[in-house]
Amino acid sequence: MALEYSRLGAKLVLASRHPENLEPTVAEIHKAGGDAIAVPTEVRDPEQVDRLIHTTKQEFGSIDVLVNNAAGNFICKAQDLSPNGWRAVVEIVLNGTFFCSRAVGREMIAQRRGGKILNILATYAWTGGPGTVHSAAAKAGVLALTRTLAVEWAPYGIRVNAIAPGAVSTEGASSKLWGHPEAEKKLRAGIPVGRMGKAEEIAYAAAYLVSSFADYITGETLTMDGGAWLGKGFLAYQ
């Protein structure tokens, strides 16, 4: 998403807890002639989020777009999930999204020229997610947050939307969520289009939803899962 935004001319502030997750992308953007900075940030800490906003304003003067993409997830049965495991995921996904949205929303309201917020969900926000109860509950909260802020902040010209990706072939997802070839094969078999998503496909949609082409869209979630969540009726499709 960052690379696609940069290709389209955006100036970027990338945030993550660990600098090593940021520096390669910043370097790639600079190499391509783009403009980006890295600000290590723990989104669970409102003070660090405020520092992120302050640094962004110092560097670029204003904020036009926020993408809430910070998340945590791992497979665990609900009865085996520790309180710390629950808190870690919910605080990153739900609290972090709210803290960042609140801080950026205040700036956008003060700027008086609107803005766009994009949240990254998952389809189990509404289907439920056995094995990922912490993430499913948190993502459901972000879905409600998306719809609520879309209404509250529409008078200020702020649009709030979301993307709900299904299985996307990335190193992080592969290692944490399906793990081995048999699990991946089974997962792919449940996707009507017969393949996993590509990161660039999510990036193209992310660019569209924060562009002027989508100015009449707010409070919506664009599902990008190859039809996977739809084929769950009691009659098996053959």
Q: Which positions are catalytic?
A: 124
- Within 10 angstroms of residue 50's Cβ, the number of other Cβ atoms is 15
Which residue, among 64, 53, 43, 67, has the nearest Cα to 118 in the 3D structure?
Answer: 67
* Bridge pairing between strands 115-120 and 158-165: parallel
- Give the separation between CA 152 and CA 183, rounded to whole angstroms: 42
Six-digit token string for 8: 């389209």
- Give the separation between CA 2 and CA 229, rounded to whole angstroms: 27
Buried b (16+ CB within 10 A) or exposed e, 61-90: eebbbbbbbbbbbeebeeeebeeeebeebb
